[in-house]
Amino acid sequence: MNGLGNEIIVADMRGRADRVSASAAVALAADPGTHFDQVMAIHDARTPGTANYIEILNADGSLAQACGNGMRCVTQMLAAESGQKHFVFETVAGILTADEHPDGLVTVDMGKPRFGWKDIPLSEEFADTRAIELQIGPIDAPVLHSPSVASMGNPHAIFWVEDDVWGYELERFGPLLENHPIFPERANISVARVTSRETIDLRTWERGAGLTLACGTAACAAAVSGARTGRTGRQVTVTLPGGDLKIDWRDDDHVMMTGPAELEFAGTMDPATGAWSRDREVA
Ligand SMILES: N[C@@H](CCC[C@H](N)C(=O)O)C(=O)O
């Protein structure tokens, strides 16, 4: 499936005790037929009141705590299967809800953002995480500097720029910043431009996956950071390379993300090795 071009494998692991292995993820990501950004593995519920436990793997085999685009894909798949429209899921980051609308768009309640330096986490104390001391490029003329940092369950750094987000070599700076010692668990790195009080342009280098066409949690992190720094209001449209997401940072502190999801094809895979075959095409 994909969520605005963010490439997602939804793995149906219900009724079984094994997991999608890190080596299976790496093998599937390396295969052009199944290249992906995240695997969303749907497991049986482990907490009463939830439909399923969702485990998230990045293309490098690492585990992620959250994936906004992937949650929309999971919701759309389960809605198509059951006719149900409202879901309660559990991830390692906590419990979240998702709703499919009559127009096919899906809203996910991504929970509450966290801004404390230990929550993100950062390796050193910053009292104010709206702009931390971090830069890349020449010391006296940094290319990117002073990002806002936030956790949407997973760590994000948002570098605000005044000009076109496509003018920045994110493929070069992304890996350096993702692995910067300030981020002990690495981080998702975004370049963001505010184009009005209600609109943000965004490109993201994803932790464990690289450049992607869209990152839902980065859109949420950019939206809350935009509002927190006075750049935007609390309801924004975030334009990613793959399309638009609507983000609403509600007064109860929950971040609601709305956007599409799309089925590409279905197949069968071995979650231990990543060996797979295609079942059927989808027009
Ligand atoms: N594509 C995702 C984010 C996936 C997780 C990320 N790479 C991480 O390791 O935190 C999204 O849509 O949110």
Q: What is the DSSP string of 204-222?
A: EEETTTEEES--HHHHHHH
Gap from CA of 74 to ligand 1 centroid (Å): 14
Report pLDDT for 282.
55
Gap from CA of 217 to ligand 1 centroid (Å): 6
Pocket-forming residues, ligand 1, beta carbon under 6 Å: 6, 37-38, 58, 64, 66-70, 154, 188, 206-209, 212, 215-217
* Token pair recorded at residue 17: 């005790």
Count of other CB atoms within 10 angstroms of residue 141? 8
Report pLDDT for 42.
98
Q: Is 215 a catalytic residue?
A: yes
Report pLDDT for 104.
98
Tell whether omega for the bond before 138 is within 30 degrees of 0, i.e. cis.
no
Report pLDDT for 94.
96
**Residue-wise pLDDT tens digits, 72-108:** 999 999 999 999 999 999 999 999 999 999 999 999 9
The residue nearest atom 1 of ligand 1, judged by CA position, is: 215
> What residues contact 170, with CB distance under 8 A and at least 6 apart?
189, 191, 203, 204, 205, 211
Report pLDDT for 281.
59
All structural domains of the chain: 2-109+261-278 (3.10.310.10), 117-253 (3.10.310.10)
What residues are designated binding site?
Answer: 6, 38, 58, 68-69, 154, 188, 206-207, 216-217
| List 42, 165, 177, 215, catalytic entry | 215
Gap from CA of 64 to ligand 1 centroid (Å): 7
The residue nearest atom 3 of ligand 1, judged by CA position, is: 67
Gap from CA of 141 to ligand 1 centroid (Å): 30
Gap from CA of 38 to ligand 1 centroid (Å): 7
CA quadruple 133, 187, 71, 73: dihedral, nearest 10: 110
Percent of the chain with pLDDT over 90: 98
| List 67, 74, 77, 255, catalytic entry | 67
Report pLDDT for 280.
66
Q: Which atom of ligand 1 is nearest to the CA of 62?
A: 9
Q: Is 67 a catalytic residue?
A: yes
What residues are designated binding site for substrate?
Answer: 6, 38, 58, 68-69, 154, 188, 206-207, 216-217
- Report strand pairing: 86-91 vs 106-109: unpaired
Q: Which of 37, 39, 92 to mutate to test the pocket of ligand 1 (most atoms within 8 A of CB)?
A: 37
Q: Which atom of ligand 1 is nearest to the CA of 156?
A: 10
- pTM over the 0.95 mark: yes
The residue nearest atom 4 of ligand 1, judged by CA position, is: 67
Report pLDDT for 2.
98
Report pLDDT for 87.
98
Q: Is the dihedral of CA 83, 249, 201, 56 positive or negative?
A: negative
Instruction: Name the stretches of the chain with pLDDT < 50.
Output: none
Alpha carbons 86 and 95: distance in angstroms, whole number: 13
